[in-house]
Amino acid sequence: MRSAAYLGVAVLLLLVQSNLFRVLGPLAQLFGGRFMHGMTPSLLLPMVVFLGVYEPSMAKGAALSCAMGYALDILGTAPTGLYGFVYVAIWWLSRVAGVRLTAQTWFTRASLGFIFTLVQGAIVVILIAVFGTDNRRPVSMASVILPNAIATALLSPALFQLAQRLRQGGVSRAPM
Q: How many whole angstroms separate alpha carbon 11 and alpha carbon 43?
A: 10
Residues sharing a CB contact under 8 Å with residue 144, sequence separation 6 or more, in sequence order: 37, 38, 121
pLDDT at 35 over 70: no
Angle, helix 145-168 to helix 45-54, in steps of 10 degrees: 50
pLDDT at 137 over 90: no
pLDDT at 165 over 70: yes
More confident residue, 17 or 114: 114
Which H or E run contains 34?
Answer: helix 33-36
pLDDT at 37: 65
Residues sharing a CB contact under 8 Å with residue 76, sequence separation 6 or more, in sequence order: 14, 18, 83
Residue 37, Cβ neighbours under 10 Å: how many?
14
Mean pLDDT along residues 1-29? 81
pLDDT band at 62 (very low <50, low <70, confident <90, very high): very high
Mean pLDDT of the chain: 82
pTM metric for this prediction: 0.80
Q: How many whole angstroms separate alpha carbon 68 and alpha carbon 70?
A: 5
pLDDT at 142 over 70: yes
pLDDT band at 176 (very low <50, low <70, confident <90, very high): very low
pLDDT at 100: 58
pLDDT at 65: 93
3-state secondary structure of 143: coil
Give tens-digit pLDDT for 73-131: 888 777 888 889 999 999 999 888 866 556 678 888 888 889 999 999 999 888 888 88
Residues sharing a CB contact under 8 Å with residue 106, sequence separation 6 or more, in sequence order: 157
Mean pLDDT along residues 4-16? 88
pLDDT band at 33 (very low <50, low <70, confident <90, very high): low
Question: Do the beta carbons of residue 8 and residue 14 sit within 8 Å?
Answer: no
